Amino acid sequence: MSAEKNLLRGGRRHSGGRRLPLAAAGFACLAPAALVLSQSGERPSSAPMGAATTAAGDASGAARPAPRRAIRFELASSGLPTSGSEGMWKSDPVLADINGNGFADLAALPRLAKGARVWTGDGEGNWTDSSNGLAVPRTSCGGGLAVGDVNGDGKPDLVVGDHCTGIWVYLGDGAGTWTEVTAAMYPVDLVEKPGDELSEKLVTGAEDIAIGDVNGDGHLDILSGGSDEGGLNIFLNDGTGRNWTRQASSLISRGWANRVLLVDVDGDGRLDVVASHSDGPLVYLNDGRGDWFWSASGLPTPMMQGLYHGLATGDMDGDGKLDLVVANWVDGPEVYFQREHGTWQKAPEVFPEMFGGAVGLAVADVDGDGRLDIAVSGRLQPTGGMVRGLFLLLNEGNGSWRWARDTGLPSTGLMQTSGLSFGDIDGDGVPDLAVGSGLITETGPPGASREPVIAHRLMVWRGRRTAASEDGSVAAPGAASVDRGGNGEKKQ
Amino acid sequence: MVRTGTGQGQSAVRPHAAIVGHASPRRPAAVVAAVLCALIGAGMAGASQGQSGNAAGAGDDAAPPRHVLPPLSDSLDVPIDGIEPEPATREQLLVRANVLNAARLAADYATLWEFRDLLTVAHVSREEFIEWSVENDPFVYDVAETQDVAVDGRWGWVRVRASIGMRRAPSIPPRTIERWERWIHVCGRWLPVSAKEQDNAPQAPAERDLALEPLLQARYDAWWKAVEARDWRTLYEMSDPLDREQVDFETFARARNQLTFFDHQVLWRNASSDSGIVRVRYLLRLNDPNMTKMHPVVSMVNERWVRRDGQWYHRLLGGAER
């Protein structure tokens, strides 16, 4: 499989259409390093940050990874919300260059507030509100966002999936002003009893959305995951970003999806559907004729609905096939390798130290060794209080991951977290991490702090590679505390 | 399938008693109890550190982990695990019942506030309750008399005769009722069982067939032994024959295999005519390979039984009594 082809695989959300011209990739949520390796003139929509090295390595047949670098994260959230009415950031934040200045900007959707927000970044971790036109008359409930050019004018637009009110589309002028062109869209024809409020409510919400060109007409379409019983739906774009037609398809039409992605799972050049559906992770392959077929053999079907939340894809084992990473609300992150004939095989436990479950999840090559690492939000123990944390799991290259403890990310002390996304806010090629937090958090034991250790509810952590680390450890300079295995043992 | 939520989702959150214990971990039981009792200005006797689902002997080097129930909890699904039953007398209940009935007659909402259930007290302030009641209380009591009182451990029952009218429909004649009201002794005082918790408290002894209850208890004990032995065939045969007509053994066994029961505690039993309820606290876990890290959780269950031809059978299906 070619490097170019490999780049088209994997990755996180906000996956724009592959057939967009590279110029449009300026606002893609991808690292510059990944963009450089795209030689196809197509937007490498689904490549995880840092996947370029992996792809190049595969293509050349070089199995030896690049040297691992120690990684440190520092808070870079000046100007982002700390509390107040917009203190509950229930979405995977999006890092993308919206104003075309070369630095990633930030978009996120709050719960119990007035709609999506956008901040422009200066590359130094300072953020300026740029949300003119995004306020909604009704309360937003959190959900998902995507940035892409839905009307073909070369300027990034914003698509919002709201848990309560459905799908909203805003055309951007590239200068921070947004024009609403689609409001509260939902799969109307799924309403069992039209006119019945309860029946309509079951399908009006969108828990998450992704955008991409699913039918090859050059326009970005929308994949939405319902927030209750709406299932998975594709809305086809006529190229204006204003008119959307729900595609009649074989996608599951019931349940909800905590996350959805459009990525090329099978490498046929067509975007496929991946979802953490309420029934469990699901994959549907695009048949190229306007329909989808189920391809989730080997993926879990839990007894508990809604068990899986965060979702990412990438070639996690370097075999050239796209793999799946999902956040299990009880057991923590899980990796499923894609095997022959589109079947999936669960990797050995990825994060044995985590007993409190995972919610948000993102993948990128953080330490620069050419392998995809995993960032997770969740908690180590199932206790109440300010116990959520952020965790970086480094890819060991043998189908296993290891928790890097000394990265500067808080392993506890946060409010309930929601989503994660990698991006590059300063153009240094090192993945930075955006985190949505501030959701209602259970009361902790007596004496426990009632305030999170980080005041910001929506936060960005800037990654720095600090030093070469030949033995593969990721200890920060001067602090050689490294977890050597899955048993939590610390070796000095 | 049990449904969990979407984080802060609204409509999509569908917790299950057996699940939320892990997914939304309960606060330490004694802490909750102390807070709730403090809200009604009462002390808390016998509060212990019962933590749902903790493996006993976690700190022991050699002891293998064994999952046991935490100490006796209140049985009203109020999260006050750890409150032990306290000595309570019939006389104390009589005094409280008379105070309540006098307050009903006088529409004395400040006093009525003292008889609210713990969860109401936890979520609504005294002032809010009084303000709301003054404006919205739908009932007017013309008569409210205590006629009899019974006590069994932490449970109490008060026979009340009342004449109740509709405040906003004075033309409708008041309705006279006589009924046993259920009470529980908690946080050092007697409180009426709230309307939504009626099913979680036993009926008054005068309403039950007490002679049938030992047979019901024995039948439940045999049933539990089969649960422990994972003897699904025996369990199936102890199920209501009418239910078995609708649920085949394979379906039954598949459902039973989804849960592992570690411990149980019968809180009360209630036989009335041919219907029986055994209220049980279980410590259980879902057998889902996708939730290997889930701790066992405490689940309160009203096991329903039906008596046919002199034998008690376990009900598989809900719905009206047949």
Separation between Cα atoms, residue A178 and residue A221, nearest integer Å: 19
In B172-184, which positions are buried (b, 16+ CB within 10 angstroms) versus exposed (e)?
A: eebeeeeebbbbb
Separation between Cα atoms, residue A236 and residue A334, nearest integer Å: 32
Give the model's pLDDT for residue B148. 97
Separation between Cα atoms, residue A74 and residue A124, nearest integer Å: 11
Q: Which of B56, B100, B48 is nearest to B74 (CA)?
A: B48
From chain B, the residues in CB contact with A202 under 8 A are 11
Contacts with A37 (C-beta within 8 Å, 6 or more apart), sequence order = A3, A4, A7, A44, A52, A55, A56
Report phi then psi at A467, rounded to 5: -165, 155
Contacts with B89 (C-beta within 8 Å, 6 or more apart), sequence order = B151
- From A120-129, A306-315, B311-320, the region with the lowest mean pLDDT: B311-320
Question: Do the beta carbons of residue A439 and residue A94 sit within 8 Å?
Answer: no
Q: Is the dihedral of CA A404, A410, A415, A418 positive or negative?
A: negative
Residue of B nearest to A226 (CA): B12
From chain B, the residues in CB contact with A442 under 8 A are 24-25, 27
Give the model's pLDDT for residue B123. 74
Give the model's pLDDT for residue B124. 81
Question: Do the beta carbons of residue B59 and residue B161 sit within 8 Å?
Answer: no
Report phi then psi at B255, rounded to 5: -65, -45
Separation between Cα atoms, residue B105 and residue B321, nearest integer Å: 37
Question: Do the beta carbons of residue A440 and residue A418 sit within 8 Å?
Answer: no
Nearest to A382 among B8, B25, B290 (CB): B25
Give the model's pLDDT for residue A272. 98
Q: Which of A310, A311, A313, A349 is nearest to A331 (CA)?
A: A349
Q: Which of B148, B142, B181 is nearest to B162 (CA)?
A: B142
The encoded tokens of residue B285 equal 């876990």
Distance from CA of A443 to the nearest CA of B (A): 7
Distance from CA of A90 to the nearest CA of B (A): 8
Look at strands B2-3 and A304-305 and give their pairing: parallel
Q: Which of A437, A416, A440, A414 is nearest to A80 (CA)?
A: A437
Report phi then psi at B249, rounded to 5: -65, -40
**B2 vs A303: CB contact, 8 Å cut-off?**
yes
Question: Do the beta carbons of residue A156 and residue A172 sit within 8 Å?
Answer: yes
Mean pLDDT on A149-153: 98
To which residue do tokens 């008054």 refer? B204
To which residue do tokens 């049938």 refer? B212
What's the pTM value of the predicted model, to 2 decimals? 0.74
Mean pLDDT on A240-254: 97
Separation between Cα atoms, residue A225 and residue A275, nearest integer Å: 8
Task: Read off the amino acid at residue A330.
Answer: V
Mutation choice for B interface testing from A109, A112, A330, A386 by most B CBs within 10 A: A330
From chain B, the residues in CB contact with A278 under 8 A are 3, 12
**A330 vs B293: CB contact, 8 Å cut-off?**
yes
Per-residue pLDDT for chain B (322 aa), expressed as one digit of tens each?
555 544 333 333 233 322 222 333 333 444 445 555 555 544 433 333 233 333 333 333 444 456 776 655 444 444 333 455 566 789 999 999 999 999 999 999 999 999 987 777 777 889 999 999 999 999 999 999 999 999 998 899 999 999 999 999 999 999 999 999 999 888 788 989 888 888 889 999 999 999 999 999 999 999 999 999 999 999 999 999 999 999 999 999 999 999 999 999 998 999 998 999 999 999 999 999 999 998 888 888 999 999 999 999 999 986 544 4
**A328 vs B2: CB contact, 8 Å cut-off?**
no
Give the model's pLDDT for residue B299. 85
Give the B-side interface with A, CB within 8 Å. Answer: 1-12, 14, 19, 22-28, 31, 258, 286, 288-295
From chain A, the residues in CB contact with B288 under 8 A are 302-304
* H or E element, residue B110: helix B109-113
Distance from CA of B168 to the nearest CA of A (A): 30
Give the model's pLDDT for residue B86. 63
- From A45-59, A160-174, A414-428, B167-181, the region with the lowest mean pLDDT: A45-59
Question: Do the beta carbons of residue B142 and residue B165 sit within 8 Å?
Answer: yes
* Length of chain B, in residues: 322
**A256 vs B6: CB contact, 8 Å cut-off?**
yes
**B27 vs A443: CB contact, 8 Å cut-off?**
yes
How many other CB atoms are there within 10 angstroms of residue A75's CB atom? 17
Mean pLDDT on A46-69: 50
Question: Do the beta carbons of residue A39 and residue A354 sit within 8 Å?
Answer: no
Distance from CA of B82 to the nearest CA of A (A): 16
10 Å CB burial of residue B302 (0-12, 13-18, 19+) is middle
Nearest to B6 among A258, A279, A328 (CB): A258
Could you tell me the CA-to-CA distances from B238 to A228, B212, B232, B243 in Å, in that order?
Answer: 38, 17, 10, 11
Task: Read off the amino acid at residue A431.
Answer: P
Task: Read off the amino acid at residue A406.
Answer: D
Q: Which of A52, A46, A106 is nearest to A433 (CA)?
A: A106
From chain B, the residues in CB contact with A256 under 8 A are 6, 9, 12
Report phi then psi at B260, rounded to 5: -115, 125
| pLDDT tens string A319-342 | 999 999 999 999 999 999 999 989
Contacts with A236 (C-beta within 8 Å, 6 or more apart), sequence order = A214, A215, A219, A221, A244, A245, A246, A247
